[in-house]
């Protein structure tokens, strides 16, 4: 049983089993997630979800339980999961094309606080969640990606694996947790056409489903025991011929999936990052100005082409999924952070002018690169200059990928940039130190409260 084998591994994973690199990566994933969740809480979709979820918990509808209810781990995971996916600044596991942090870390933070878990317990749970989520994602990629947002589908099971590990569920309970989560997995790409808010809902619901599945299973609620490989299970619902071998291939015999995670230096879809890094480096090396460029040619793989080839985005969210906008903003500004997607910025005439001179080309060579190594979300950029020069660069691993990683200081700089406007420098610094030394934490609820105290 494939589901059983994966559940057995994630439920049995302990802190002592983790390499120093896996521990470090888990803390980086949590720090990156926390900064994005904090700043993402200010975004309109996050606010709407928070007001809806928390108002319900505050008394707009009665829960006939005999006692007053406060915001619980389920609602916290929902709100934080949605906020952490609202900036498109969150991490990516390239081979599975999942933003694992926004569906794995919210359940871990919520349960970790509610159940007074230790830092070591939380680190282990994050590693378990990334392992399950990455493997389930790889089993249905690339075929499912045309319709299904993998973060919302496979990510739900990753979150459930983390919740089950953190709640110390036994094997039978963990299998039930997988089953309950898998039957809730969802997330369709149709929202992209209009730049609608559904993407953050996918992350919030996945995080909520993970916590719900964990607590239900703890109390004896059952789920499908073959939710992954079953005839009417998750994998075959996603694609006609899933890659079931990916679920257990090399399981427990080498690196964990979290060891090969990527982080974003640019606040937009990861499929644009190879082109962005190419342009950023070419721009710096050649002192390029927007008026110097006659034409931009972007050679991309199939997924990049159908997902973010959008020459006329109409709103900030659409711009995050337009490789034409992102690369043009990079050519003008040399950075692509959250500020480049402000409503009053996206109609910049210089950027729009560059967009009109940008051509996106579906390229067999870029597709071959991805087919041979799914971790390579490669693109090639050709800049045709007005002085007759042609500048060209192919990037297989942009900044933030395992082969071109962010340093801890760069990760901290990103966190502080996001967190300080919301919490102030002193609290942000305390939160950063809490995550940096999380393995020393004995009671996460107590230490988190100390960080946020006035």
Cα–Cα distances in Å, from 132 out to 25, 29, 398?
16, 16, 25
Task: Say whether both 248 and 274 belong to one domain.
Answer: no
442 is a domain residue: no
Task: Say whether both 92 and 168 belong to one domain.
Answer: yes
For residue 12, count CB atoms less than 10 angstroms from its CB and return exposed for 0-12, middle for 13-18, buried for 19 or more.
middle
419 is a domain residue: no
CB 203 within 8 A of CB 82: yes
CATH of the domain at 371: 3.30.1330.120
Buried residues in 93-123 as b, exposed as e (16+ CB within 10 A): bbbbbbbbbbbbbbbbbbbbbbeebbbbbbb
Task: Say whether both 228 and 289 belong to one domain.
Answer: no
Where among 395, 410, 428 does a domain terminate?
395
* pLDDT tens digits for range 51-85: 888 876 565 655 554 555 457 899 999 999 999 99
39 is a domain residue: yes
State residue 69's pLDDT score. Answer: 45
404 is a domain residue: no
State residue 57's pLDDT score. Answer: 58
Report how far Cα 318 is from the mean position of its chain's Cα atoms: 18
With tokens 């075929």, the residue in question is: 143
Tokens of 38: 């904090």
Backbone angles phi, psi at 77, to 5 degrees: -65, -40
Give the pLDDT of the chain (454 residues) as one tens digit per residue: 799 999 999 999 999 999 999 999 999 999 999 999 999 999 999 999 988 888 765 656 555 545 554 578 999 999 999 999 999 999 999 999 999 999 999 999 999 999 999 999 999 999 999 999 999 999 999 999 999 999 999 999 999 999 999 999 999 999 999 999 999 999 999 998 888 899 999 999 999 999 999 999 999 999 999 999 999 999 999 999 999 999 999 999 989 999 999 999 999 999 999 999 999 999 999 999 999 999 999 999 999 999 999 999 989 989 999 999 999 999 999 999 999 999 999 999 999 999 999 999 999 999 999 999 988 999 999 999 999 999 999 999 999 999 999 999 999 999 999 999 999 999 999 999 999 999 999 999 999 999 988 7
Q: State the Cα–Cα distance between residues 317 and 201, nearest whole angstrom.
A: 14
Secondary structure (3-state) at 381: strand
23 is a domain residue: yes
CB 362 within 8 A of CB 306: no
Where among 228, 260, 292 does a domain terminate?
260
Task: Say whether both 215 and 309 belong to one domain.
Answer: no
For residue 309, count CB atoms less than 10 angstroms from its CB and return exposed for 0-12, middle for 13-18, buried for 19 or more.
middle
Task: Say whether both 291 and 254 belong to one domain.
Answer: no
* pLDDT tens digits for range 336-387: 999 999 999 999 999 999 999 999 999 999 999 999 998 899 999 999 999 9
Task: Say whether both 248 and 292 belong to one domain.
Answer: no
Task: Say whether both 282 and 242 belong to one domain.
Answer: no
Best CA proximity match to 200, nearest among 324, 37, 57, 34: 37
- Complete DSSP assignment for 193-241: GTT-SHHHHHHHHHHHHHHHHHHHHHTT----TTTTTSTTSHHHHH-SS
State residue 95's pLDDT score. Answer: 93
Task: Say whether both 219 and 246 belong to one domain.
Answer: yes
Tell me the pTM.
Answer: 0.92
66 is a domain residue: yes
Q: State the Cα–Cα distance between residues 39 and 418, nearest whole angstrom.
A: 5
Task: Say whether both 180 and 304 belong to one domain.
Answer: no
Cα–Cα distances in Å, from 201 out to 107, 110, 148, 204, 418?
15, 17, 14, 5, 21
Where among 260, 287, 317 does a domain terminate?
260
Strand (E) or helix (H) holding 298:
strand 293-300
Backbone angles phi, psi at 390, to 5 degrees: -125, 120
The parent domain of residue 322 ranges over 270-395
State residue 58's pLDDT score. Answer: 60
Task: Say whether both 173 and 45 belong to one domain.
Answer: yes
Q: How many domains does the chain have?
A: 2
State residue 317's pLDDT score. Answer: 86
345 is a domain residue: yes
Task: Say whether both 235 and 174 belong to one domain.
Answer: yes
CATH of the domain at 74: 1.10.4100.10
381 is a domain residue: yes
Query: How many residues appear in the chain?
Result: 454
Task: Say whether both 350 and 234 belong to one domain.
Answer: no
Secondary structure (3-state) at 116: coil
Q: State the Cα–Cα distance between residues 439 and 450, nearest whole angstrom.
A: 17
């Amino acid at each position: 049983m494939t589901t059983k084998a994966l559940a057995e591994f994630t439920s049995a994973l302990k802190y002592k089993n983790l390499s120093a690199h896996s521990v470090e990566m888990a803390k980086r994933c949590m720090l990156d997630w926390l900064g994005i969740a904090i700043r993402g809480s200010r975004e309109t979709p996050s606010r709407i979800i928070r007001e809806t979820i928390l108002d319900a918990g505050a008394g707009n509808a009665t829960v006939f339980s005999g006692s007053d209810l406060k915001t619980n781990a389920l609602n916290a995971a929902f709100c934080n999961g949605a906020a952490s996916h609202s900036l498109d600044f969150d991490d990516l596991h390239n081979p599975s094309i999942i933003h694992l942090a926004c569906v794995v870390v919210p359940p871990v933070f919520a349960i970790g606080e509610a159940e007074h878990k230790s830092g070591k317990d939380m680190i282990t749970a994050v590693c378990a969640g990334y392992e399950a989520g990455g493997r389930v994602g790889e089993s249905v990629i690339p075929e499912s990606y045309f319709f299904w947002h993998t973060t919302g589908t496979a990510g739900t099971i990753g979150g459930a694996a983390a919740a089950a590990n953190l709640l110390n569920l036994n094997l039978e309970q963990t299998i039930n947790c997988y089953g309950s989560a898998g039957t809730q997995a969802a997330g369709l790409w149709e929202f992209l056409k209009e730049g609608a808010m559904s993407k953050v809902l996918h992350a919030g619901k996945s995080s909520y489903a993970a916590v719900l599945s964990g607590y239900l299973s703890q109390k004896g609620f059952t789920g499908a025991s073959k939710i992954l490989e079953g005839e009417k299970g998750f994998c075959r619902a996603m694609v006609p011929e899933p890659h079931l071998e990916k679920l257990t291939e090399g399981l427990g015999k080498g690196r964990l999936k979290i060891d090969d995670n990527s982080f974003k230096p640019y606040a937009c879809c990861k499929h644009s990052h190879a082109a962005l890094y190419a342009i950023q480096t070419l721009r710096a090396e050649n002192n390029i100005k927007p008026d110097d460029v006659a034409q931009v040619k972007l050679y991309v793989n199939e997924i990049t082409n159908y997902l973010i080839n959008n020459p006329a985005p109409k709103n900030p969210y659409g711009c995050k999924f337009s490789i034409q906008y992102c690369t043009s903003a990079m050519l003008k500004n040399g950075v692509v952070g959250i500020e480049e997607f402000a409503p009053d910025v996206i109609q910049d005439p210089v950027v729009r002018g560059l967009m009109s001179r940008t051509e996106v080309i579906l390229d067999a060579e870029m597709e071959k690169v991805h087919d041979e190594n799914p971790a390579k979300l490669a693109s090639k950029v050709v800049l045709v200059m007005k002085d007759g020069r042609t500048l060209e660069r192919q990037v297989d691993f942009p900044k933030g990928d395992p082969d071109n990683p962010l340093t801890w200081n760069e990760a901290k700089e990103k966190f502080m940039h996001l967190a300080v406007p919301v919490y102030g420098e002193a609290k942000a610094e305390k939160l950063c130190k809490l995550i940096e030394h999380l393995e020393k934490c004995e009671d996460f609820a107590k230490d988190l409260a100390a960080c946020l105290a006035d």
